[in-house]
Amino acid sequence: MMKRRVTSIILLALLLSIAIPTLPAQALIEGDSGGTAGISNITPVITIPSLKDTGATSKNDSSIDVYTEYRISLTLADDNTLEDITTLQFKIWGPSSTEGGADSDVDHYTFVYTQATDAWDETGPDSGDEHLIVGSCVDPADQTDGSGTFTLGFKIHKTAEYSASTEGWSIKITATDDSAATDTDTTLMFGVNFYLEMTVDDGTHSWSTLSPGDSQQTLDTPVDTDIDMTVTANAAYDLQGKVSAAPTSGSYTIPLANLVIHEDTVGSAVALTTGYVDIGGLTSEAAGEDNAEVFKLWLTVPNPQMDGSYTYTLYVQGIQA
């Protein structure tokens, strides 16, 4: 019995020791496929355009003042993110111009925001950005967003064309993306109030050698015998004059009827009064910047007339023609 058990153990050991052949390892086999996902370009969209003053009062379809800050704001959306935008352009033109007109202080302005440089510029009429208020221009800090608010700060020139109609001036906003897709808005408009500024260049004037009975005498000072003015206006204007009172020395006066005014012709001159009268020859003057204007005064001295220094103050104003 003991002998049979030992034999079985030996046979089992022999079976386990038989070598099992090893199969060679196979190389790893891979394949690949290039993938693409085309994302369509989506056209940008302008919404909520507004024209306001610095106090946030709407000025759309209202009249504005020259050389005064205003702001155009809008929301711009692009499903390809705002980085897809290349430019945001603002064109502003008056009733005597068109969208495609040349830039001019009088009636056409172009401003542009460029996304690549994150910069605002006035492309015309002044490349030095005279009419662009950079400190009031706003664009989104994070342009990886799909929408954001943009604000243009601007002013129009002193000679910007007057328009009584609140629809006289037009604004066109154009957003363009890097696929040249665009959206535009033309819902903003405004009128422009009359503007005039004036300087009397000759602050004093006088007759120094008058005698009783002298008739229609021109000034001695200034030496050119006329009074010079500089006028800037955005529409046609009339110049007018008046005096504070009749020329007076103590208790003596020279009648106002003896002091007359005109651009250059005594025969067409009219007497000055304490109320404004038109200066003949200087009515319906054309709008412009730094227009040189001149007029003359003539004085007739009664005979007899007490000697003395007769004084008065001359006032000049400009009004819309």
Closest Cα partner for 244 from 318, 310, 165, 293?
Answer: 310
Neighbours of 232 (CB within 10 A): 20
CB 308 within 8 A of CB 263: no
Distance of CA 85 to the CA centre of its chain: 23
Strand residues in the chain grouped as ranges (E): 45-53, 62-64, 70-77, 85-93, 108-114, 119-124, 147-154, 169-177, 182-192, 196-200, 227-233, 237-243, 248-249, 252-253, 259-262, 270-271, 277-278, 288-299, 314-320
Burial status of residue 289 (CB atoms within 10 A of its CB: 0-12, 13-18, 19 or more): middle
Neighbours of 276 (CB within 10 A): 16
User: How much is the pLDDT for 27?
Assistant: 65
User: How much is the pLDDT for 14?
Assistant: 39
CB 207 within 8 A of CB 283: no
Residue type, 124: G
Neighbours of 117 (CB within 10 A): 8
State the span(s) of the chain assigned CATH 2.60.40.10. 45-192
CATH topology of domain 45-192: Immunoglobulin-like (2.60.40)
Total length of the chain: 321
281-286-289 Cα angle (round to 5):
120
- Residue-wise pLDDT for 76-112, tens only, equals 999 999 999 999 999 999 999 999 999 999 999 999 9
For range 187-203, the mean pLDDT: 98
> What are 273's two structure tokens?
């009064």
> What are 269's two structure tokens?
């001159």
CB 182 within 8 A of CB 91: no
For range 6-27, the mean pLDDT: 48
Q: What's the rounded Cα separation, in Å, for the pair 230 and 70?
A: 28
- pTM here is 0.87
Evaluate if residue 7 carries a pLDDT over 50. Answer: no
- Residue-wise pLDDT for 266-300, tens only, equals 999 999 999 999 999 999 999 999 999 999 999 99
Evaluate if residue 168 carries a pLDDT over 50. Answer: yes
In angstroms, the Cα distances linking 205 to 82, 240, 295 are: 64, 17, 12
Neighbours of 223 (CB within 10 A): 7
CATH topology of domain 196-320: Immunoglobulin-like (2.60.40)
CB 49 within 8 A of CB 173: yes
Q: Of all helices (H) and strands (E), which one includes residue 8?
A: helix 2-16
User: How much is the pLDDT for 29?
Assistant: 85
Peptide bond into 21 cis (omega under 30): no
Q: Cβ neighbours of residue 30 under 8 Å, at least 6 residues apart?
A: none
